[in-house]
């Protein structure tokens, strides 16, 4: 079901831990699909994301919320899930170059290694 959510989500909410508490940023589902889901790895374009990058350098844990109304959940249309893992902003290398080629405004890629996923009931 997680792959189905990733294939259909419109928007992702990305949460990192900052010095003042949780920090949230977003990204578009079609951006994720354009750069790809490779096994347990999510690759997203990183524009500014400066606070996110600082947070990940201190504590690389990340949570991502995805949801899609088109995916049938246990109570009818719509399902969501929280993905937990680690993340980093990469500005050099193959993933960064792929992000920059697809999105000229990107300074690199946000790479998330998913370690656990749980759907919302």
Out of 8-17, 45-54, 77-86, 102-111, pick the least confident: 77-86
Structure tokens at 99: 């992000």
Least confident of 100-104, 105-109, 116-120: 116-120
Domain ranges of the chain: 2-119
Q: Determine how many CB atoms are found less than 10 A away from the CB of residue 100.
A: 17
CATH topology for 2-119?
Pnp Oxidase; Chain A (2.30.110)
* Average pLDDT, integer, range 23-33: 96
User: The pTM is what?
Assistant: 0.92
In this structure, the number of other CB atoms found within 10 A of the CB of residue 37 comes to 16
**Tens of pLDDT, residues 41-88:** 999 999 999 999 999 999 999 999 998 888 877 777 888 889 999 999
């Amino acid at each position: 079901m997680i792959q189905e959510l990733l294939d259909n989500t419109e928007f992702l909410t990305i949460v990192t831990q900052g010095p003042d508490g949780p920090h949230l940023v977003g990204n578009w589902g079609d951006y994720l699909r354009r750069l790809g889901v490779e096994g347990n790895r999510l690759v997203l374009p990183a524009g500014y994301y400066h606070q996110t990058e600082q947070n990940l350098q201190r504590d690389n844990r990340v949570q991502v919320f995805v949801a899609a109304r088109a995916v049938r959940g246990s109570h009818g249309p719509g399902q969501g899930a929280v993905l937990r893992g680690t993340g980093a902003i990469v500005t050099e290398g193959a993933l960064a170059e792929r992000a920059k080629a697809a999105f000229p405004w990107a300074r690199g890629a946000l790479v998330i290694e998913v370690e656990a996923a749980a759907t919302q009931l």
